[in-house]
Amino acid sequence: MSTDLSPRQRRFVFLACVAAIFTAAVEGTIVATAMPTIVADLGGFSLLAWVFAAYMLTQAVTIPIYGRLADLYGRKNVLFFGLGIFLIGCVLCGFAPTMLMLVIFRGIQGIGAGAVMPVTLTIIGDSYPALERVRIQPYLASVFAGSSIIGPVIGAFIVENLSWPLIFWLNVPIGVIAVVMLALHYKETPRKVEHTIDASGATLLMLSITALLIAMLQADVLGWWVVPLTALSAGLFYLFLKVEKRSREPLLPAELWRDKALYACNVGSFGVGGSIMAVSVFLPTYLQGVKGSSVLASGIALSVLSFSWPIASTIGTRIMVRTTYRAIAIAGAVALVIGSVAIAVLMAVPFAGVSATVGPAVAAMFIGGGCGMLNAAQHISMQESAGANRGIATATQTFMRTVGSTFGTALLGTVLNLSLAVKIPAAHDAVQTLMEPAARGRLPAGEVDQLATAVGASIANVFWVALVIAVATAATAWLVPNVQPGKLHEKQ
C-alpha cells in the first residue's frame, strides 16, 4: 500500500494506532486482575482457563488471515472490521450473565483482536520511512510497557470501586477514537497484491486445537470421552499439515522450521507464552482466594511481571551488541527458571516472614524479566536470520507465542481442575466462596483455612507444572546463535 501523508497526518495516524494497540495490549492484564471477582459473581470456576484460552485461540488463528486480507483489501478497511468485532465483543462481555457466555463473548473478542496488532503495525510501517520507523520503536514499546503496568491497577480500581463490566467497556471509547482518527487522517492507495487465504488450513487448525482444549480443560467431567476427543484433535491436525503442504501461502511455512535460529525462536516463543500465563491467570486466584489479599495487591503483582519484561528486554538488547545473542538468551533462561522455582516453592511451602504478596511478586519479576531477555535474543536473531522472509517469520513468532499461551493456560487449568476434584468435593463452589468476600466472611475460620489450604495446594501443583514448562523453554536458549548482532550471516 502506498501512502502520502503530511507530518500532521502521520502524527494523528500514529496516535490512532497507539490507541488501538493499547486496547489489545491492556486486555490480558486488566481481565486477569478482575477474574477472581468475576468468578465470585458469575460462578463457573471450572471455566476460568477458558476465559483466556478462547480469546487467545481465536486471536492466534485469525492473525495471519488478517495480514493477508490487509494486503488484498486495504489496511484501513480490514482494521475497521477487526476493531469493530473486538469492540462488539467487549460490550457483550460486560453483559455476560454466566461464565459460559463470557467464554463465548471472549472468543468473539479474539476474532477481532487478531486484526489489531498486525494491521496497526503495518499501517505504521507504511506511514513512515525506514529511519523514522527505527526512531518510533521506543514509543511503541512504551505502549506495551505502559498498558501492562497500568492495566492491573486500573482493573483493581474498577473492581474495588465500580463494577467489573467496566473493564471491558473501557476499551469502547478508546477504540472509537482510534477509528475516527484513522478515518479522517489515514489515506491509502490500495496496491493489488496477489495473496491466497489459507481458510481451510486455519479452520482445521482451530478445530484441532479446540478439540484438544476441550479434552484438557474438561477432563475432570468428560471421563473416557477425553480419548476420542484427543484422537479427533490429532486427526484434524494431520489434515491441517496435509493442507499446509499444498497451500501456496501456508499459515506456518515449512522453511521457518528448518533454520536453527528460526526454530529456536518459534519453540521458545511457544514456551514463553505458556510461562507468562501461569502467573497472569493463576497468581490472582492464589492471592485473592487463598491468601485473602485485595484486588489491588494482585494487580500490583501482575504489574511487576509486566514491566520487568520490557525493562529486561531493553537492558538485554543493549548488552547484546557487545556480547552474543546466546549470552543474553541464557541469562534470560536462568532468570526464568529461578523465578519459576521460587514461586513454586513459595506456594508449596510458605516461609515465615515472607509476605504473601511480596514473595510471589519478586518471583514474578524474575519470570517476566527472564522471558523479556530470552524473547529479545530469539526475536532479533530470528529477524536477522530470516532475511527476506522477515515479515512472515515475525508473524509466525507472534502466532506461536499466542498458541503457547493458549496451551499453557489449558494445561495448567487442567492441573488445577483435577487437583481440586481430588482434594475438595464440589470444589468449584468452594473456590467461588473463597473469591467472594461476603461469602468468605460468613464461613467459620476453621472452614476458611481448610478450603484455602486445599485450593492453595492445588494452585501449587499448577506452578510445579509451570516450572517444567519454564525449564523446557529455557533449554531453547542453547539453540540461539552464539554470534554478535549483525554477524550471523558472516558466520554462515
Average pLDDT (348-362) is: 67
| SS3 (DSSP) at 2 | strand
CA dist., res. 226 & res. 212, Å (int): 9
Give me Rg for the CA atoms of the chain: 22
Query: Which pLDDT belongs to residue 334?
Result: 93
Confidence of residue 2 (pLDDT cuts 50, 70, 90): very low
pLDDT of residue 311: 81
Q: Which residues pair with residue 2 across a beta bridge? A: 189
Question: What pLDDT does residue 70 have?
Answer: 74
The pLDDT value given to residue 319: 84
- The most confident of the ranges 73-87, 400-414, 420-434 is 73-87
352: pLDDT strictly greater than 50:
no
Q: What confidence tens digit (pLDDT) does each residue in 13-55 have?
A: 788 888 888 887 777 667 877 887 888 788 777 777 788 878 8
Return the C-alpha cell found at 120.
Answer: 496497526
pLDDT at 85: 92
Q: What is the predicted pLDDT for the residue at 426?
A: 56
- The amino acid present at 286, given as its one-letter code, is Y
For the segment 438-478, what is each residue's pLDDT rounded down to a tens digit?
666 676 767 777 777 777 888 888 899 999 999 999 988 88
Distance CA 315, CA 385 (A): 22
CA–CA separation, 442 and 432 (whole Å): 13
Classified as helix, coil or strand, 189 is strand
- The yes-or-no verdict on residue 149 having pLDDT over 60 is yes
- pTM score, whole prediction: 0.73
Q: Say whether pLDDT at 191 is over 70.
A: no
pLDDT at 212: 79
- Split at pLDDT 50, 70, 90, the class of 136 is low
pLDDT-derived band at 286 (thresholds 50, 70, 90) equals confident
| Cα 33 from Cα 17, distance rounded (Å) | 25
Over the stretch 62-105, which tens digit does the pLDDT of each residue have?
Answer: 877 777 777 677 778 888 898 899 999 999 998 988 888 998 99
Q: What pLDDT, on the 0 to 100 scale, is given for residue 8?
A: 74
Which helix (DSSP H) or strand (DSSP E) does residue 125 occupy? helix 99-127
